Copies of this chain bind each other. A is one copy, B any other.
C-alpha cells in the first residue's frame, strides 16, 4: 500500500465518487460489482477505476469483480469516514442554514454540530439542537471540541479573515462556499463550492 504522499490528489478526489456509487448499490441490495459496471454508472473508464483502486491494495479478483460491501468498507476506511466527524458551519444566511440542515451528512461521515454568525438578529435562532451561536465563541468551541472541519457560507469579503480564525483555532479542512480563493498554510486543506464556476465551465460548450 502506498503512503499518503505517493497518491495524486486527483485519485483521492475520485474515491468519494466510487464510495457514493457503492452506497447506492448497497441500498439496492447488490452484492457484487465490477470496474466495468462502476465505470458505466460513473462515466469513468474501468481501467481508470482499477488503477485508482490499485494504489490501495487488492480489492477484487480478475473475473470475479468486487464485493460491494467489502469495497465500501475499505473506501470508508481509506477516506477515514468510518467514523463521524463533527463539523461547524460559519454563516447563518439562507445558504448556511440549508447546509446545516442538509440530511445527507450523517450517513456519510459528518455531523453539523454548530452554526455561527456575528449578526445579533440571527444568534439564538434556528431549530432546536442547532441554534445559531455567536461567532465570538467560535474559537473556543473549536478548541474545546477538537473540531477539524468547517464550512464557510458567508460573503466573500469576510471569508479570508474567518478562515484565518478557523485555522488558528485548529481547523484543518475548510469547505468554502464563499466565491473567493482562500490562502491557507500548507497543512490545511480547502475545497470550494461555487455554483457559478461550475455553470461557467458549461456555458463554454453551449452553442
Contacts and interface: CB of A to CB of B under 8 A. Distances in A.
Nearest to A93: B98
Interface in A149-167: 149, 151, 156
Contacts of A87: 199
A66 interface: no
Nearest to A19: B200
Contacts of A78: 204
Contacts of A149: 199, 202-203, 206
Contact of A81 (B24, B172, B200): B200
A16 B81 contact: no
Nearest to A17: B197
B24 A201 contact: no
Interface residue tally of chain A, by bracket? 35 or more
Contacts of A42: 181
23 contacts: A9-B201, A16-B196, A21-B181, A41-B183, A42-B181, A43-B181, A79-B201, A81-B200, A87-B199, A94-B102, A108-B196, A109-B199, A109-B203, A149-B202, A149-B206, A173-B199, A173-B202, A173-B205, A173-B206, A175-B202, A189-B202, A191-B199, A192-B198
Pick the 9 closest A-B CB pairs, nearest first. A173-B202, A16-B197, A191-B198, A16-B200, A98-B98, A94-B98, A189-B202, A80-B203, A108-B196
Interface of A: 4, 9, 12-13, 15-17, 19-21, 24, 41-43, 78-81, 85, 87, 94-95, 97-99, 101-102, 104-105, 108-110, 148-149, 151, 156, 172-173, 175, 179-181, 183, 189, 191-206
